[in-house]
């Protein structure tokens, strides 16, 4: 139920939610109406992203503060500053999977495309980075 990630109630809740979701999906497939695949994908993505907050938060109070922040509509300045993150999210959701892109690019070598993608990746990382060092979640234990 998530306890192997650490001794914190957020991990227990995260694991419980994912376990319950698996049960609901199993029951839905047996007894519920068939959903369009795009709706199923959207529900799954939303569930996973929202429960990642619980997984990463240091406490339930911190998770609730994050959820409250997500519920507030941002002002225009915040949206403009978040443009690189929004663009990256759109790329992640709308473009083909990375392994499919790699398969297409490696069918025959294309040095210019590889160099361009490398420069683009560096630009994105520089734009997203705020020069603060964030430790990986498992280094906290």
Q: How far is CA 59 from CA 2, 8, 13, 44, 48, in A?
A: 14, 8, 11, 24, 18
Active-site option among 1, 2, 4, 5: 5
Between CA 25 and CA 7 the distance in angstroms is: 28
Between CA 88 and CA 128 the distance in angstroms is: 9
Concatenate the DSSP letters of all residues of 3-55 into one string.
GGG-S-HHHHHHHHHHHHHHHHHHHHHHHSPPPPHHHHHHHHHHHHHHHHHHH
* 5 noted as active-site residue: yes
Active site residues: 5
């Amino acid at each position: 139920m998530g306890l192997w990630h650490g001794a914190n109630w957020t991990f227990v809740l995260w694991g419980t939610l994912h376990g319950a979701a698996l049960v609901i999906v199993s029951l839905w497939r047996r007894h519920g109406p068939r959903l369009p695949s795009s709706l199923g994908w959207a529900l799954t993505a939303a569930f996973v992203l929202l429960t990642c907050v619980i997984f990463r938060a240091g406490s339930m109070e911190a998770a609730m503060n994050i959820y409250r922040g997500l519920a507030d509509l941002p002002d225009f300045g915040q949206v403009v500053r978040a443009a690189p993150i929004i663009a990256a999210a759109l790329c992640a959701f709308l473009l083909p999977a990375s392994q499919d892109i790699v398969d297409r690019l490696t069918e025959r070598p294309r040095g210019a495309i590889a160099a361009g993608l490398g420069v683009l990746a560096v630009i994105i990382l520089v734009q997203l980075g705020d020069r603060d060092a964030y430790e990986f979640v498992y280094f906290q234990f």
